[in-house]
Amino acid sequence: MPNIYIAGAHSRAQTLKEYITYLFSDTEVLAYLVDDMSDNPNSVDNIPVELIKPGLDISCRVYIATRGVNHAKLKAELEQVGFSDIIPVTVQLDIELRNAYVKKKYESQGRLYQMIDDIDAIGHDKGSEKRIDKKAAGVIYVANSIYDKKLQNEYLLKPYEKIIQVGAALTDERISDGVITDCVGDNISDRNRQFCELTGIYWIWKHAVEDYIGIAHYRRHFLLPDDWLKRVIYNDVDVILPAPLYIGPSIAENFKERHIPEDWDYLMEYFDNNLPEECEQAKKIFAGNLFNPCNMFIMKREVLDELCLWMFPILDAVWKHGGVKDDPYMNRYPGFISERLITYFFESRKDRYRIVYANKNFLK
């Protein structure tokens, strides 16, 4: 691949740079291109940030790595100065590059990166395959709140998806008659403004009875083959996680840049004081860049029990220490920390569980 420009200079552009330069080691990013320098640095990791203007090498390809709503405007500005090889990074292209990147990363570590689509529903070695009840049940609970924005286009739930209203203890309003709520029985529903979908995860941990249990969001759903449960059963898969993505500068520093650093510092103090046998490994994994986002998963009920028994005491301590934040976004810090904890839990136990991955959508 020849040298390129990337339109955009923030996280999407920086992630694209990581994907492309790792996959195509002979490629150099000449500059990040923007149409306004007021909200941008002069350089990012020694790559200059420049205005879209005459004088650039218009023979180069330009990838547009910004929010989709800005693609058309940037494409027109690039064409105006003479660029013709312009590629907007769509959701599909981002998925393809990300999965190729993760697969190559795993291969460099001697690991197998498998998507749920890569395994069949028969099993390759029935003689040694662990036999599982083929009538096992699987449900993905879809976290939804009365405060969520209405979808622009209707989404029809899959047969294996069930809405769970999260934060139900904070309102008398219900999404629909008979909807499952996270405020019945043993629950932490009243923490929803801080714990987000974690109040739903806590509820399904305490109450769901299916053999395979998942959590998704009303705007984010796993992209699964229709026979995903059969594939999981026949191949004795323990966990399906969202396909990892790259975040920089690291898992830990990304949190500290975007949220309140003291909350992260306390998390690491907790590891040091209460999980000393895991502290060094946690630091090592949090210094990495591959991250399982969104608090989404599908897993065996017993694996969910193991995860939650480990994770919720940590989150409870972090929450009691951090308290309530004035800023509503920053107030959701337990939910953002749990994404990192789930990433750590399964990366540190990758030899214990059979893990495969799935892509996810994002509904407007």
Query: Hey, how many other C-beta atoms are within 10 angstroms of the C-beta on 239?
Result: 25
Phi, psi of 117, deg, nearest 5: -70, -20
Question: What is the share, in percent, of the chain residues with pLDDT greater than 70?
Answer: 96
7 and 63 Cβ atoms separated by less than 8 Å: yes
Does 199 score more than 70 pLDDT? Answer: yes
**Mean pLDDT computed over 249-253:** 97
| pLDDT band, very low/low/confident/very high, at 344 (cuts 50, 70, 90) | very high
DSSP state of 158: P
Q: H-helix or E-strand containing 32?
A: strand 29-34
pLDDT score for 143: 98
Q: pLDDT digits over 25-82, tens only? A: 999 999 999 999 988 899 998 999 999 999 999 999 999 999 999 999 999 999 999 9
pLDDT class of 129 with cuts at 50, 70, 90: very low
Q: Are 107 and 217 in contact (CB under 8 A)?
A: no
> Could you read off the pLDDT of 141-166 as tens digits, one per residue?
999 999 998 898 889 999 999 999 99
Question: Which numeric CATH code is attached to 116-358?
Answer: 3.90.550
State how far the Cα of 146 lies from the Cα of 166, in Å rounded to an integer: 8
Pairing verdict, β 4-7 and 29-34 = parallel
- Residue 215, classed as helix, strand or coil, is strand
The predicted-structure confidence for 326-337, as pLDDT tens digits, reads as follows: 999 999 999 999
Is the separation of the CB atoms in 268 and 283 below 8 Å? yes
pLDDT at 42: 92
Is pLDDT at 298 greater than 50 in this prediction? yes
pLDDT of residue 134: 58
Domain with CATH 3.40.50.720 in the chain: 4-89
Pick one of 3.30.70.270, 3.40.50.720, 3.30.428.10, 1.10.3720.10 as the CATH number of 4-89: 3.40.50.720
CA end-to-end span of the chain, whole Å?
Answer: 33
CATH 3.90.550 region(s) of the chain? 116-358
CB atoms within 10 A of CB 219: 18
